[in-house]
Amino acid sequence: MPKAELVPGTLILLVLRVLQSGPLHGYAIAQRIGQLSSDILQVEEGSLYPALQKMLLKGWVKAEWELSETKRRVRSYRLTAAGRKQLEAELANYDQVNRAIKSVLKLA
């Protein structure tokens, strides 16, 4: 099955949700989203790292350097309390938009 493009505005929601389960480094975040979507969703580095930087600046995630399983230095990201609140807001917004789209598709 071909890879699907992420719907605009969903990357931050997906990253926050994945980080809710615990800290991960950037590559692991992309891999986890792929795994959970049965490899339908693919997160590109060119999108992921700017999104993570935005989340760092907004205080939704914190980052620290650590060693990976392969002994490489990686930046690990974890959700903050503000990030958990933002995740709730993102989920509510997503649900509202999803209901609206379904309504249009059903009634048009």
Residues of the chain with pLDDT under 50: none
Provide the CATH number for the domain around residue 17: 1.10.10.10
Which residue range is the domain that position 89 belongs to?
Answer: 11-107
Distance separating the N- and C-terminal Cα atoms of the chain: 29
Q: Is residue 1 part of a domain?
A: no
pLDDT of residue 2: 62
For residue 53, being part of any structural domain is answered with: yes
pTM for this predicted structure = 0.90
Domain count across the chain: 1
Is there a domain that residue 84 lies in?
A: yes
For 9-27, the pLDDT digits (tens) are 899 999 999 999 999 999 9
Whether 37 is covered by a domain: the verdict is yes
Residue 90 to residue 37: CA distance in whole angstroms: 19
| Integer Cα distance of 26 and 106 in angstroms | 38
What the block records as the tokens of 52 is 């993570």
Q: CA 77 to CA 48: how far, in whole Å?
A: 12
pLDDT tens track for 73-85: 999 999 999 999 9
Q: Does any domain span residue 3?
A: no
CA distance readout (Å), 103 to 5, 9, 98, 100: 22, 20, 9, 5
Residue 6 counted as domain residue:
no
